[in-house]
Amino acid sequence: MTMNTTHQLQSERTLERTSQAEAFITACYQEMEKTEAEREQRLAGVREEIRLTGTYVHTAEELTHGARMAWRHNSRCIGRLFWHSLEVIDAREAGTAEEVAEALLHHVKHAYNGGRIRPVITVFRSGEDPERAIRIWNHQLIRYAGYPGDSEHPRAGDPASDDFTALCLKLGWQGSGGDFDLLPLVISVGAEGPRWFPLPPGLVREVPLSHPEISRFPELGLRWYPVPIVSDMCLEIGGITYPAAPFNGWYMETEIGSRNFGDTDRYNRLPAVADLLGLDRSTNTTLWKDRALLELNRAVLHSFKQAGVSIVDHHTAAEQFVRFQQQEKRQGREASGKWGWLIPPMSPSSTPIWNDNKLRELPLSPRFVYRKTAVQTGPEDTGQMRGCPFHSPD
């Protein structure tokens, strides 16, 4: 590449970044009800910073509101009524893998909050400098290992974690080989190799599954962790990408009952539940899968409730989503939405979202974007991280 084109590319990048920054600051300051003078002053400051350094640094306030906007804009999330309550932890100062691990353990504890789950995001430094880029290799901070099995051992654990588990084992982590081994945190900084940190015993209070009427349900030996903390998406605010920004809400019961335990390529437990219920699995017409799904989902709601851990059922979540849409409309905004992700994976036609034929995805920013997981790209690929290329999982 000639000097000239490098230069040209750089100035194109600067121009693009300036316009993304301007759009964000304008929207953000308006929503935060700042005065016109405050906004103009900040816009001038940001333009100057980008001209001099090629980038700019968000204030704590901008980071907080920007992260909340990204949640509000996420077209796949049914729980967005509470977007404004997101707690934003500014961890941009964390520099080493140890410091990152410490901040992540704090996130787990703070979000769990003794069972009264708080929606939280921890934002680590931006991906501007690839040599210092922080990378969290986990898909979620808390998740179970998966073991594909071989001729002597049957498969065990969560198949969705097979690849990541193999990496952890290669790094020296050891699991029991069972169905519910909690995986360690895996972190790398820049081009350094990944390092693993175990979740301290007792930090995660798992919920054993029981059923309000079926007293033999615990025989299935099922349990789940209390907080889903997604850690493999990038947060993008005003032209700046944060490649490490794990966030959580609380669970909707179908995520666990229908998908994590029901999917044939996950724990695949519908046959075991049906057998416990004494259902006839020799024909589809007994609707044994539907009956197993229903009781599994009831067990999840019942068990979380009994353990004092926040959870929402899919009917309530769907009602809350409709309220979110109305709230957005009153603000003069349209709620972006992806129908196939918003309808719950049990009895979807019994929720108001089913008949909503106006839902559409809008290109909104700030936003969360998928990135290829570190397991897929390998550690050297810091350039990919910085760009955080869109990667669709479906």
Q: Which of the residues are catalytic?
A: 77, 80, 250, 255
Picking from 167, 165, 148, 87, the residue whose alpha carbon sits closest to that of residue 119 is: 87
| Cα gap 274→289, rounded to integer Å | 7
Minimum distance from CB of 94 to ligand ARG (Å)? Answer: 23
Minimum distance from CB of 24 to ligand ARG (Å)? Answer: 24
Minimum distance from CB of 143 to ligand ARG (Å)? Answer: 7
Minimum CB distance to ligand ARG smaller for 21 or for 70? 70
Minimum distance from CB of 308 to ligand ARG (Å)? Answer: 18
Residue bearing tokens 């934003």 = 88
Minimum CB distance to ligand ARG smaller for 159 or for 228? 228
Phi, then psi, of 235 in degrees rounded to 5: -100, 130
Minimum distance from CB of 266 to ligand ARG (Å)? Answer: 9
Minimum CB distance to ligand ARG smaller for 130 or for 339? 339
- Taken in order 258, 261, 265, 268, the sign of the CA dihedral is negative
State the binding string over 119-158 for ligand ARG (x if CB under 6 A, else -).
---------------------x------------------
- Burial of residue 100 (CB within 10 Å: 0-12, 13-18, 19+) is buried
State the binding string over 246-265 for ligand ARG (x if CB under 6 A, else -).
---x-xx--xx---x-----
| Cα gap 371→313, rounded to integer Å | 29
Kindly state the tokens that stand for 255. Answer: 């995520």
Minimum CB distance to ligand ARG smaller for 24 or for 247? 247
Picking from 83, 96, 206, the residue whose alpha carbon sits closest to that of residue 143 is: 206
Would you call 26 helix, strand, or coil by DSSP? Answer: helix
Residue bearing tokens 């059922």 = 313
Minimum distance from CB of 164 to ligand ARG (Å)? Answer: 14
User: Could you tell me which stretch among 33-41, 245-253, 297-305, 378-386 binds ligand ARG (CB under 6 A)?
Assistant: 245-253
Size of the site for ligand ARG (CB under 6 A): 9
Which residue from 27, 230, 272, 322 is in contact with ligand ARG, where contact means CB under 6 A?
230
For residue 101, count other CB atoms closer than 10 A to its CB: 21
Q: Does 159 bind ligand ARG (CB under 6 A)?
A: no
Picking from 177, 79, 190, 176, the residue whose alpha carbon sits closest to that of residue 130 is: 190
Q: Does 344 bind ligand ARG (CB under 6 A)?
A: no
- Taken in order 50, 55, 57, 63, the sign of the CA dihedral is positive
Contact (Cβ atoms closer than 8 angstroms) between residue 368 and residue 233: yes
Kindly state the tokens that stand for 383. Answer: 């350039």
Minimum CB distance to ligand ARG smaller for 100 or for 141? 141
For strands 195-197 and 229-230, give the pairing: unpaired
Minimum CB distance to ligand ARG smaller for 21 or for 168? 168
> Segment 80-109, which members bind ligand ARG (CB under 6 A)?
none
Rule CB under 6 A: which residues touch ligand ARG? 140, 228, 230, 249, 251-252, 255-256, 260
